[in-house]
Each structure stands twice: as structure tokens, then as C-alpha cells.
Amino acid sequence: MDHDGTSDPEPEADPLETAERAFADQLIACLEECARGRKGLFSDYEGGAGEEATGGWPEAGSLRDLALALQSAAERMGRGNALAHDFLDLCSMHGECHPGERRLARTFLERIERGEVGTSGDGGRKPW
């Protein structure tokens, strides 16, 4: 507050920065849930029956959409978003080399905690 009792105006928040924080918070929450066994974070179809295989995790689908939008907006502004990029990279994995969602989620959470997102970290070898 100023000496006359009024507060200084807050600097205007960067809308992209606000979206990046919201994405990061939602991603962490979804990764933790996925690491506990919920399927469908990295893809709409996991090949099983039940809620997860039929699109029963709308937050996961919204998170993938948000990552795409965030990555596009960041690139238009001449910035990148490593968290969105790495998440979308994991979403594109299919086939025999796919280690499973629980393992991907745990490994990605560990990389985030170590500050390794957006870097190869280990000479280009996949961390899973």
C-alpha cells in the first residue's frame, strides 16, 4: 500500500504464463493419478474395456487439447513450452516400445521434479 492507503496496481499478468501455470498444475495432478493406475492420460484408447477405454477421463482429453493449444500459442509468441512439448511427445508413443502409462507417468513426474523436462538429460536415450 502507498502512504495514502491505496494499493499499487498489480503488474498485468501474461496470459500465456497464466495458462502455462494452469497446464502444469493440471498435468501434475493427472500424472499422479495415472501413476496410481488410472489409464487414458497419454491416449484416448488403451485397448481395454471400461470407463478409461471409452473416454471416461475427460480431464485427460482436455489436458491434451490444452497442451496443443499452449504449444501453438507459445510458438507464435516466439517461446517454447518444454512441458507441453514433452507431454505431447509421450502422447505420440505407440507400439512395442510403449512402456505403459503408469511407468510413463512415474518417469515423467521424476523428470519434472529433477528439472529435466525439455532436455535430453542422458545423451538422447529414452528415460523409460
Q: For position 117, what pLDDT does the model report?
A: 86
Check residues 99 and 26 and name the one with the higher pLDDT: 26
Q: What is the DSSP letter of 52?
A: G
CA distance 78 to 74: 6
CA distance 54 to 40: 9
118 against 41, higher pLDDT: 41
C-alpha cell at 35: 501413476
**Would you say residue 122 lies in a domain?**
no
- In this structure, is residue 125 part of a structural domain? no
pLDDT at residue 61 tops 60: yes
Range of the domain at 70: 15-42+49-114
In a domain, 120, yes or no: no
The radius of gyration of the chain from alpha carbons, rounded to an integer in Å, stands at 18
Q: What is the pLDDT of residue 109?
A: 95
Span 81-96, average pLDDT: 87
- Domain membership flag for residue 81: yes
Sorting pLDDT into bands at 50, 70 and 90, what band is 7? low
Question: Whole-prediction pTM value?
Answer: 0.74
Find the farthest-apart pair of alpha carbons in the chain and give their distance in angstroms, rounded: 67
Specify if 10 maps to a domain. no
Q: Give residue 99's pLDDT.
A: 79
128 is a domain residue: no
Q: Is the pLDDT of residue 93 over 90?
A: no
Domain count, the chain: 1
| Residue 2 included in any domain | no
As a whole number, the mean pLDDT across the chain is: 80
- Give the whole-number percent of the chain exceeding pLDDT 90: 50
Range in 11-20, 76-85, 112-121 the model is least confident about: 112-121
Domain assignment present for residue 6? The answer is no
